Amino acid sequence: MNVLQLKSFYAYYGEKKIINDMDMKIEKNKITAIIGPSGCGKSTFLLSLNRMLEESGGRAAGNILFNGKDIYSMPKEEIRKRIGIVFQKPAPFPFSIYKNLTYAPVYYGIRDKSRLREIAIDKLKISGLYDEVKDELGMSALKLSGGQQQRLCIARALTVEPEVLLLDEPCSALDVKNTANIEKMLRNLAGDYTIVIVTHNLYQAKRISDYTAFMLDGELIEYDETARMFSSPQNRRTREYIEGIYG
């Protein structure tokens, strides 16, 4: 089943066309990896999926259906609640770790202190940050290391219980051990959440994703099951990209 479907979708920054005529279906409760060279429009693609594109000064044309409904005919707040995103550069709020995690739940009307605490701890455990910060939930989130901030932002995105989670290179600031933890977490989440992850690391795409999409200059070049994509890419440019990095 598809959660998200793009139909001749275009994205622009000003007059510049970043995404060109994209058609794509994203499977529910699977992990889809987006790969492609720097600047090809991967982040723009992710931003389009939950209407954050318009907040960063971009413009969209064409359709994106979320469970069959056009996201541009739904309130953008609702779309963003149901499709969460973790940006390429982590941006924790300048509050305590705890308050970062209760910021959104409070907005959605949860006032009960013990419930809030439960959410915070639960999401920290999922993102693998809990053991490192369990005694310092009151500490400013800005004092965390880059990788810890990244995991805090993942936890924060989970606090609103989204159905889809978009991740933009979540492991670029992490070491091997934390990367492995995040990958394990994503695999665990995949049963209940649809995950779209942009990554520069082809090994990672291969390890964790069910489907892989290769983008080049704003176009979807090839999109297939991950195993097939890496063993026998159909398109010459996909092959060159994959071999270029592997070989």
Binding residues (CB under 5 A) for Mg ion: these are 43, 88
For the CA atoms of 202, 199, 26, 207, the dihedral, rounded to the nearest 10 degrees, stands at 40
Question: In the complex with ligand ATP, which residue's Cβ is closer, 43 or 238?
Answer: 43
Q: What is the largest CA-CA distance in the chain?
A: 56
Count, residues near other proteins per rule CB under 8 A? 29
Query: CB of residue 80 vs other proteins: minimum separation in angstroms?
Result: 4
80 Cβ contact list (under 8 Å, min separation 6):
50, 51, 52
| CA contacts within 13 A on the Cβ side of 25 | 8
Query: CB of residue 227 vs other proteins: minimum separation in angstroms?
Result: 32
Q: How far apart are CA 229 and CA 36, in angstroms?
A: 13
The amino acid at residue 151 is R
Q: How far apart are CA 70 and CA 54, in angstroms?
A: 16
Query: CB of residue 213 vs ligand ATP: minimum separation in angstroms?
Result: 12
Is residue 191 a contact point for ligand ATP (CB under 6 A)?
Answer: no
From 37-45, 129-137, 139-147, 153-161, give the range in contact with ligand ATP by CB under 6 A.
37-45
Query: CB of residue 104 vs other proteins: minimum separation in angstroms?
Result: 4
Question: In the complex with Mg ion, which residue's Cβ is closer, 3 or 46?
Answer: 46
> Binding residue for other proteins (CB under 8 A) from 18, 22, 26, 104?
104
> Interface residues with other proteins (CB under 8 A)?
50, 52, 55-56, 77-82, 84-85, 87, 89, 91-95, 103-104, 106-107, 140, 153, 156-157, 159-160
